Amino acid sequence: MEDEKLKYAYFPGCSSKSTSVEYHISTLRVAEKLGIELIELEEANCCGTHNLEDYNEDVWLSLNARNMALAEGVAASVVTICSGCYLNTKKAKMMLQENGTREKINKVLAEIQREFRGEAEVKHILDVLVNDFGLDNLEKFVEKKLDLKVAPYYGCQLLRPPEITEFDHPENPQSFENLLDVLGCQVVDFSRKTDCCGATLTLVDEKIMKGMVKKILDEISKIEVDCISTICPLCHYALESSQFSLNMEKIPVLHATQLVGLSTGLSPVELGLNRNLISTEKVLKKLK
């Protein structure tokens, strides 16, 4: 890592530019701090999520193929900070390898002078930090160990289905915990860390979504933690905003990149901690 700078085509996704913009902000600052080059795909479109896939598979494939075509012109890998975008992009890439599918979708892309070649590898920011950049290398950048009790929440789309995501163990992953260990955090394990939060059901059946996220928050609330940490903007929004509608005692929810940034000497403002829905003052006070 020290001899060769890591370079990625960066696809933040829609939620990271709206409801969780602080995730996008902190990712850019952390990458800059670590010397990781992120070239944002500013012309990228929405990945469509599984909702559009169910409605019109060809349109969904075309959207993801277009994003990957944009990435192929920039770097060997495309990295996203959204677990939903990660799953959708990886799944689409796999489907585009099937006989006839690539040709069919490339006919669509040809109308906008684009072509999907299948060359760009699809990665999540957690994978980049833990495996590409490396935890030993990250430890060299740690300026302050974070004396925090943190509950790491993976969610589901980064891990499952494993034959598509190919990232860590689908039921008992350790990548997130290992990252937090390097930052000096005390990792607090809980059984629902890989449960679905129901975020993608928000516009379909909010009652079911609230029930799903409540089970996660109820378990965490019974444990002594300083904060929850997430690696997906949709999960972050669900776990954070639902605490208001469920009238719960507030637990701060920080993006993993915000914790990395605090440990490597970046300021709370640089990391967008003032933009989180639930105040992070308790967390910051403990770190003083």
Tens of pLDDT, residues 208-231? 999 999 999 999 999 999 999 999
Mean pLDDT of 74-92: 97
C-beta separation of 264 from 30 below 8 A: yes
d(CA 117, CA 179): 33
Query: What was the pLDDT predicted at 142?
Result: 98
Domains and CATH numbers, the chain: 7-124 (1.20.1050.140), 134-287 (3.40.50.11810)
Share of residues in the chain with pLDDT > 90 (%): 95
* Mean pLDDT for all residues in the chain: 96
d(CA 192, CA 220): 9
Q: In which band, very low, low, confident or very high, does the pLDDT at 1 lie, cut at 50, 70 and 90?
A: very low
What global pTM score does this model have? Answer: 0.97
Neighbours of 262 (CB within 10 A): 26
- pLDDT tens for residues 235-276? 999 999 999 999 999 999 999 999 999 999 999 999 999 999
